A and B are shown apart, each in its own frame.
Chain A
């Protein structure tokens, strides 16, 4: 075998370095006494305690709560719509399904800002006040496509003849659905729901365009703090906490998948 070039390995490690330097700097800075810039002035936990005692800290937790509520509602709505859509796309071959597929796929490629501005104009033209409702409606709309594709890819991997086999062996429709079909596609639905939840809590642009008074989500809150230049160290501490949660969740799901037998 020919000796391989080390160039791709070097690029890979440089990219990973590039990925993590800002993130690590942010975490280190969350323990920095210096409240401007990143020059080290000493270790402190002040920014973490302030998250719990200051007004700005309370606003952050409140926005996190709103983010999670919006995320849960958007996940519920988009998972129901997306699972139905995936079944339809998988089961029927017709002109209707071709149109359906294009309709599902287009929001994935369109930039968020176009989706956001069109919803803003839509809500303005039907005189709907902006707030939690408009945000949840917008989030369901852009999450449906992701859920559909996640469930659809699971359905395509799955051999439908198992269902026939179950029926041939005397299982009723009810038993076939709940004992065979559901256990097989449940991981696809859960993956879709998780994706929808992550996209919803992460979304900034669309939320920014359709949000109203009293519905500040965490990304909007952070953007506002950056713009006003206020309590910046608190962004470091809340971000570090969220990073730790993301990291543990990803590691956990990776380990869970490891323990499950490969197909």
Chain B
């Protein structure tokens, strides 16, 4: 910026390119999010609308005996899925970072393709795999690996498998980005100094890619808390999550205040990781700008 530019003109320039996106996001993102918290205390209107009076009844409606189990399941399934995805992604990212350039390009391309494929199509493909008359089940039964009464679709395990499947690219790519910057001579040095391979992996490599791991962890955990489609299409009654409750309240029961209250519950569960993540990325951005 030239020092000769008058301050006023400079501020006008800043406003002119800042305000469009800022106003847009205030109207369609901040305002609707704030409305959620307010609507939770509104009465139910006719025809699925929102009533005119304030009430605390909605909170009472949340005292459904099924809800604590659903909330608890949402948390543990998201935690298990996050941990499993990270555990699988680290060796993959490590491998991709260590192979030659052309192999690396191919492996990255192969990782990205499922990520660019429509989510509904991938879920449908999994329904084919897990189908009661599907090849996988028939194969495992003929090998006597599973009991013929085993059902694949409609349980929490199926939901977990498909969730890991969809989250893997989101973990592999940031961890790979961190692993690529990691100086592997440190790793060799540790081993030359007598560290075992595993010791070097856990004490040199993992701390070295800590930032990538942390951002991958939050980047998959927060959206997992909000899962809806996967439990809906591959899960059964015993694998419903908070997202399914919210959609049922909003679209089937047409009870928007209750859906808003449930959304508030979901928001509270993820508020701590969310704030941490935002603080972290804002600091990163400040560092980048200061460069």
Contact = CB atoms under 8 A, between A and B. Distances in A.
Contacts of B219: 109
Contacts of B266: 111, 113-114
Q: On chain B, which size bracket covers the interface?
A: 35 or more
Given A12-B91, A84-B20, A111-B222, A209 B250 contact: yes
Interface string A112-137: 11110111111011000000000001
Given A105-B282, A122-B31, A25 B18 contact: no
A8 B91 contact: yes
Contact of A113 (B31, B226, B256, B277): B226
Contacts of B246: 113, 117
A82 B92 contact: no
Interface string B248-261: 00110000100110
A15 interface: yes
Contact of A111 (B1, B226, B281): B226
A94 B288 CA distance: 14
B135 A25 contact: yes
A16 to B, nearest CB: 6
B206 interface: no
Contacts of B28: 119, 122, 137-138, 140-141
Interface in A81-117: 81-82, 84-85, 87-94, 96-107, 109-115, 117
Contacts, number: 268
- Interface SS of chain A: helix, strand, loop or mixed? helix
B18 A100 contact: yes
A15 B88 contact: yes
A162 interface: no
Given A81-B20, A84-B17, A118 B35 contact: yes
Given A22-B122, A88-B17, A198-B116, A111 B270 contact: yes
A99 B19 CA distance: 12
Contacts of A21: 129
Nearest to A145: B25
Interface string A51-88: 00000000000000000000000000000111011011
Given A22-B129, A111-B225, A113-B247, A103 B22 contact: yes
A205 interface: yes
A18 B84 CA distance: 14
B29 A115 contact: yes
Interface in B111-146: 111-114, 116-122, 124-129, 131-135, 138
Given A19-B168, A109-B278, A202-B119, A12 B36 contact: no
B178 interface: no
Contacts of B202: none
Nearest to A80: B20
A243 B129 contact: no
A36 interface: yes
Contact of A121 (B22, B247, B260): B260
22 contacts: A18-B165, A22-B165, A23-B117, A25-B128, A25-B129, A37-B134, A85-B18, A88-B18, A91-B1, A91-B17, A103-B21, A109-B223, A113-B247, A114-B267, A122-B28, A141-B24, A144-B24, A205-B229, A222-B118, A222-B124, A235-B121, A239-B118
6 interchain residue pairs of minimum CB distance: A111-B226, A37-B133, A22-B125, A118-B32, A122-B32, A85-B21
Interface of B: 1, 14, 17-18, 20-22, 24-26, 28-33, 35-36, 39, 48-50, 88, 91-92, 94-96, 98, 105, 107, 109-114, 116-122, 124-129, 131-135, 138, 165, 168, 172, 188, 191-192, 197, 218-219, 222-223, 225-229, 233, 243, 246-247, 250-251, 256, 259-260, 263, 266-267, 270, 274, 277-278, 281-282, 285-286, 288-289, 291
